Amino acid sequence: MRKIAFDTEKYLNLQSEKILERINTFDNRLYLEFGGKLFDDNHASRVLPGFLPDIKVRMLAQLKEKVEIVIVINANDIETNKVRGDLGITYDQEVLRLIDAFRSIDLFVGSVVVSHYQQQGAAEVFMNRLDKLGVKVYRHYVIDGYPANVGHILSDDGFGKNEYIETERPLVVVTAPGPGSGKMATCLSQMYHDHKRGLNSGYAKYETFPIWNIPLKHPVNLAYEAATAELDDVNIIDPFHLEAYGEAVVSYNRDTDVFPVLKNIFEKIQNESPYKSPTDMGVNMAGYCIIDDEAAVEASKAEIIRRYYHALVQQRLGNSGEEPIQKIEIVMNHAGICAADRKIVEIAQKKADLTNEPAVAIELPDGRVVTGKTTTLFGASSAALLNAIKTLGNIDDELALISRRVIEPVQELKTDILGNNNPRIHADEMLVMLSVAATTNPTAEHALKQLPKLKGCEAHSTIILRNEDERIFTKLQMNLTCSPQFRTKKLYHKK
């Protein structure tokens, strides 16, 4: 069982308290830029066991009477149908999903901002759709010279041409479907417009990583570098904080690069900057809530290796090049680890070598490892999951939980009628069959009840899995990696 490294309740209390303090620093109006994922911060929950994936929105729910949500989406991301990799949906779809998710927990979504607006056709269609759905939409434009040309930015032709977002509550949370959406520019634009209206509003940033008050090369911060290897993010010591306070704390390059400009904008708008460093801008209390550093170190090292395998797969799929892999290799060197430290990979590969077919290995909560091989009936993922729940339920390995009389007609349907080349049962199909079997078979019912125990378990496939199988591991909240190999040598591979 994974050790708990993070105190959730302490974090909720400290984080809420810190944000309320920051609101009171200004004229009861704070634009809080929310970085990272809000509802499903699975990276944080993996590197800080005990950190709940939705802890940020739980914290906001405690302040819901004061909170208003503004979602920013880059018009160019709408135009190019940019996809959120972990969910497989486009950024405009993610905006709609976020609105529904916020509303489902009674958080008020005030509006959507379309940034970098240049009359893009797809952006126009999306804005019209939002308007028909009753969602307020505002346009923010491309500003020449942003962020360096402060004089132009703080003019009628700069922030002045952006539409002013009418907000109602003291804490305006500015979030987005992904990076590069324009959250900071939206906050600063609002401050400019507020100043012209005589309101001394403020800006702060809330990002979990990197954690500013743990060492630069702590595995938790290294895991963040591995997670953002495809970006230009690099963790560094905050030079402004070191100069102002003589204290070495962790920031990252983009924040330190833009801070002089941000400070200048504050001084132009409000005559002085409330912040002496990028770290001052943050309101992240996560570092104070790590209660088992050893557990966090262990979990973070495992995450770095998982990110390495992900980068290898992305390169094999043609989605990225060598650079992310090389960056993570440097991170692994700093952490004192290597890809071979993921022992489950070797176990899966030995099974594949023995059978000359793809294999999957799963490490159970108690440390036992089960494997699944490719057979005439099941794919390796299906077989491994079946074997895992049999083991967890102390069910005889030789016992067939799903009758061949049920499996074979489904295989015929897949090949003879639906035209699939592969007759083997995928993981999602297997679970549906098992659910049906559970209505009349108590042993199948018992096996099905073991599935929640797979949450957090490690899994590895010796080939790149199809989306159907990969999604099942994701929904079961298992930590899946794949070797960067396809099942066949064909040029076209359906993912």
* Torsion angle in degrees (nearest 10) through CA of 407, 408, 410, 413: 170
CB 154 within 8 A of CB 141: no
CB 186 within 8 A of CB 164: no
- Rounded to whole angstroms, the Cα distance separating 458 from 379 reads 18
What backbone phi and psi angles, to 5 degrees, belong to 26?
Answer: -115, -170
CB 69 within 8 A of CB 110: yes
Q: Cβ–Cβ contacts within 10 Å for residue 294, how many?
A: 9
CB 347 within 8 A of CB 361: yes
What is the end-to-end Cα distance of the chain in Å, rounded?
32
Sheet hosting strand 369-373, strand order edge to edge: 369-373, 359-363, 458-461, 479-482
Contacts of 450 (CB under 8 A, 6+ apart): 388, 389, 392, 393
| 3 state SS for 15-55 | HHHHHHHHHHHCCCCEEEEECCCCCCCHHHHHHCCCCCCCH
Region for residue 236 given its phi and psi (left: phi exceeds 0; alpha: psi -120 to 50; beta: otherwise) = beta
Q: What is the pLDDT of residue 150?
A: 87
Cis-peptide, bond into residue 53, ω within 30° of zero? no
Residue showing tokens 């620093």: 25
- Rounded to whole angstroms, the Cα distance separating 375 from 358 reads 10
What is the DSSP track for 229-255?
TTTT--EEE-HHHHHHHS---EEEHHH
Classify each residue of 466-482 as buried b or exposed e, where b means 16 or more C-beta atoms within 10 Å of its C-beta. beebbebbbebebbbbb
What backbone phi and psi angles, to 5 degrees, belong to 81?
Answer: 55, 45
CATH numbers and ranges of domains, the chain: 8-208+255-289 (3.10.630.10), 342-482 (3.40.140.40)
DSSP-based three-state secondary structure for 166: coil
Which tokens is 486 given?
A: 């396809």
Look at the chain and count its residues: 495
Q: Cβ–Cβ contacts within 10 Å for residue 147, how many?
A: 17
CA gyration radius, the chain:
25
Tell me the one-letter amino acid at 309.
Y
- Per run of 10 residues, the mean pLDDT along the chain (length 495 residues) is 89 93 88 85 94 90 94 96 82 95 94 97 97 97 89 93 95 92 93 92 92 97 94 91 97 89 86 93 95 97 98 93 96 97 97 96 96 93 97 94 90 86 90 94 96 96 93 94 84 54
Residue 300 vs residues 36, 224, 331: alpha-carbon distances, Å = 17, 9, 11
What is the DSSP track for 334-397?
HHT--GGG-HHHHHHHHHHHHHTS-EEEEE-TTS-EEEEE--SSB-HHHHHHHHHHHHHTT--T
Residue 225 vs residues 5, 203, 295, 337: alpha-carbon distances, Å = 20, 25, 19, 15
Element (H, E) at 90: strand 89-90
Which tokens is 142 given?
A: 């491309």
